[in-house]
Structure 1
Amino acid sequence: MEATEMASPIPTTLKRARAGLFVVFLAQGAGFALLVSRMPTIKDRFSLSDSDLSLLTVALPLLAGIATLVTGSLAHRINSQVLLRVAILLEYLALVTIGYADTLAVLLPGWVLMGVAFGTVDATMNMKGVALQQSYGCSIMVGFYAVYSLAGIVGALAASASVASGLSLGLFLTGAAVVLAIPLLATGPWLAAARIQRPTEPTTTTTPTDAQRNRVPWLPVVSIGVVLTSAYFIESSASSWGAVYVHDTIGSTQAVAALAFAGYSAAMLLERVGADVVIRRLGAPTVVRSSALIALVGTALVVIAPVAPVAILGFALAGLGLCVIAPLAFAAAGRLDDSGVSVARANSFTYVGFLLGAGLIGPIADLSSMRIAYVVPLVLSAVVLLNARRIVGPTAAHDVAMRDGVLSPWK
């Protein structure tokens, strides 16, 4: 391909689709944060025990993970654009239902709907993001996750403000749902340009490579899934247990301990803002290996930290290193087949990692100590580093073009 052809401007339809996906990632990140940040209100309203609340907390990612497994196929039976828009509106309907629920008979169906809709949106938006990145011909996926991270922080702050102002859960979630639904409806038609291809049936002229892509094999997805499970285990251990570790094991105050996950999240957000540009300039292989090494150093600091600042720095480095792993892993899954099914399957491994991270650190700490329990994230950081090649593969042609100055990294 001629350099002038490769440097051609990005079509307006693709730019609009990218903007539309930014809105989806924003709405998804905010929706989840709005709910989990008001969990204490739900606990008090229904007089739930800690065990009851744990069951509800675990049910969300479990339901979402199950939903992602069928989303890949469903997106080809139902127009993916329609599926995404309907699913995210159902997610906000679930939020409103949960907000006004006054009995378990109302809460539980809303909770199930939230989990299923969240997983469907999660898988579909990643499928569309990967498809759009392939149309762009350069890295744009990490930017979507930057918006997701920012939305989570804003959603949590909004939830905190709603509690401080005495706003009821129902009014808060309804108001937030309406505010977020407006841009979703307005930009929804733009997503049509982020097309997910339908899998084709093998024919007598199909080559062995084509037939393999049509079958969408599980084994390569599992290889990518190992990396995603490891990364999300580390993230879940930081979000669920980081503050407990810094407070109980290192002996800091609760105020300082709260900075553990804050440092992790802030570092992840800051790095994601510019990561796409760095990937375009240096290439995905270099960025992934460097990031995985940073995450390994960070988790090692957490394990050996003698004082709180060292542990908080470790959590921040872990967030800095892991910020690109999920977006690039989904991009790798997208290279396995053109239909997006592999992306949806890979997405299910994120929930496996989240559940294991939240569920295993505590029991391991009970049997030994919290410091020993955090050796598990350290080992999994090494797993991510050793398997980094699985989520980059051969250097893509557009990466070579980037280094030769053919493509503009600012498109």
Structure 2
Amino acid sequence: MVRKGGLSGPFLLAGLPGFRRRDNHIGMNGKLWTMRLVFGMAGVGILVWAIIIPYAKIRFQLSDGELGLVLLAGGVGGVAVMPFAGMAVARFGSRTCTVAATLLMCLLLPILGVAPSVYSFTLLLFIYGATFGTLDVAMNAQGAVVEALSGKLHMSRFHACYSLGMLAVALVASLTLKLGGTVETICLICTVGVLLGLTQSFRLVPKSGDALPAGRHFAWPNRHALILGLCCFAAFMTEGAATDWSTIFLRFSRHMPIDSATFGYAAFAVMTTLARLTGDRLAMRLGQPAVMRMGVVVAVAGFALAVGVDSGVAGVVGFGLVGFGTGNIAPLVFSAAARVPGMAANHAMSAVVGIGYAGFLTGPVMNGFVANHSGLGSAFLVDALLVGLTFFAARSVA
């Protein structure tokens, strides 16, 4: 449990004299702002990927089914790399892995935009998924170290910057396309931006300062890590469902015009960001389990509103509540993953992120399967049920 005024357990590492000296060398504020920048760059990377996808569908003349199989490559790459990402963090340090993965992401983004064939695009998407999976493990591990050194919770605000990075790309992409630019131009602009941000990586904590315990060899998740992973699975599954299906639900089930139906995901994204900007302070005041339980209640209420009230406005408000409720689940889980009892931090982090990725990968598919048999409303109720179950696992994030 986190109490007002500081953290306990592994966060007491921040009080060790060696860590104070390292902290004073560059400054905690510098580390915190650089960490936020790293998460923002990751948000840039994931949304540019999302922007490239529809253009690839048109360029390669793919059906929806064929595109689904191509997209599967990215998710499989992300899940497959998780054990190796954890071992790489232990061997080279979270800062080195974060920088290396970000550089590779910058190399791949422009190439993805000009891939000559669907086969090369699929292969590149697999590599990009593996790269982003490595970045996800490394930056969350680095974020946990910075959080421990500061003695306060910061993970929610780190993840808020991830969301802000995505929103920044959406604005840049819209402006670029209106001015006559192409998707290749968007890729180059965002790549240059990320490379400029990466120049601040020297402020991150080096391997010698990785205060969290690390194991070099593969390890299966223990019970605690598995519970955290399943909580992450539910949160990521909900995020995937809102991303892929909220607009479709509002367009075809609530009969909203297509330009208005997009407000459902916009509300989800904005409210997720808002929740993360305020989550750390709430967790410090009320405790992580309480914040998680309140979020679950709000998310389930949002699903109930969206599905139970036959109104487009209610649907938009409902998806906004889902975003606000689930926004802090993943940050709380990632913060807790760095201090799982009886398991090295890098192994626990990679296991939790890997299980979460599986939720993001399989969730939209599950929604489509249930919707095909019982309607999209029923699919969202399944999401609500799985998110609701995390209420009983909230103690695991303490």
TM-score normalised over the length of structure 1: 0.85
Rate the CA distance shift 1:366–1:124 in 2: closer, same or farther, 3 A: same
Question: What displacement does 1:161 show?
Answer: 2.7
Separation in 2 of the partners of 1:222 and 1:41? 37
Separation in 2 of the partners of 1:352 and 1:217? 15
Partner of 2:204: 191
Partner of 1:248: 252
Rate the CA distance shift 1:345–1:217 in 2: closer, same or farther, 3 A: closer
Matched, 1:239 2:250: no
Q: Which of 11, 19, 22 is residue 36 of structure 2 equivalent to?
A: 22
Partner of 1:124: 138
Partner of 2:321: 317
Separation in 1 of the partners of 2:184 and 2:293? 45
Partner SS, residue 192 of structure 1: coil
State percent identity of aligned pairs: 26
Equivalent residues in 2 for 1:55-204 (5 A)?
55-104=69-118, 106-184=120-198, 186-192=199-205, 195=210, 197=212, 199=214
Asked if structure 1 preserves the Cα contact closer than 8 Å seen for 2:47 and 2:169, the reply is yes
Rate the CA distance shift 1:95–1:84 in 2: closer, same or farther, 3 A: same
| Structure 1 alignment gaps of length 5 or more | 202-213, 393-411
**One-letter code aligned to 2:233:** T
Matched, 1:49 2:63: yes
**One-letter code aligned to 1:231:** A
Partner of 1:205: none
Q: Deviations over 1:92-143 (max 9, x none)?
A: 1110111222234543342222111111001110111112212222211001
Question: What displacement does 1:57 show?
Answer: 2.0
**One-letter code aligned to 1:192:** V
Asked if structure 2 preserves the Cα contact closer than 8 Å seen for 1:127 and 1:344, the reply is no
TM-score normalised over the length of structure 2: 0.88
Q: Which of 378, 382, 394 is residue 372 of structure 1 equivalent to?
A: 378
Separation in 2 of the partners of 1:55 and 1:43? 12
Asked if structure 2 preserves the Cα contact closer than 8 Å seen for 1:292 and 1:388, the reply is no
Partner SS, residue 199 of structure 1: coil
How many pairs does the alignment contain? Answer: 376
Asked if structure 2 preserves the Cα contact closer than 8 Å seen for 1:224 and 1:390, the reply is yes
Partner of 2:336: 332
Separation in 2 of the partners of 1:57 and 1:228? 21
Q: Deviations over 1:255-282 (max 9, x none)?
A: 2211111111111111211221222222
Separation in 2 of the partners of 1:179 and 1:200? 34
Partner of 1:228: 232
Q: Deviations over 1:7-45 (max 9, x none)?
A: 999744333222221121111101110121232222222
Worse-matched range after superposition: 97-106 or 297-306:
97-106
Separation in 1 of the partners of 2:200 and 2:319? 36
Matched, 1:362 2:368: yes
Separation in 1 of the partners of 2:389 and 2:109? 37
Separation in 2 of the partners of 1:73 and 1:309? 47
Separation in 2 of the partners of 1:321 and 1:105? 39
Asked if structure 1 preserves the Cα contact closer than 8 Å seen for 2:337 and 2:345, the reply is no
Partner SS, residue 27 of structure 2: helix
Q: Which has the larger radius of gyration?
A: 1
Partner SS, residue 251 of structure 1: coil
Rate the CA distance shift 1:364–1:16 in 2: closer, same or farther, 3 A: same
Rate the CA distance shift 1:36–1:215 in 2: closer, same or farther, 3 A: closer
**One-letter code aligned to 2:285:** R
Partner SS, residue 374 of structure 1: helix
Rate the CA distance shift 1:252–1:217 in 2: closer, same or farther, 3 A: closer
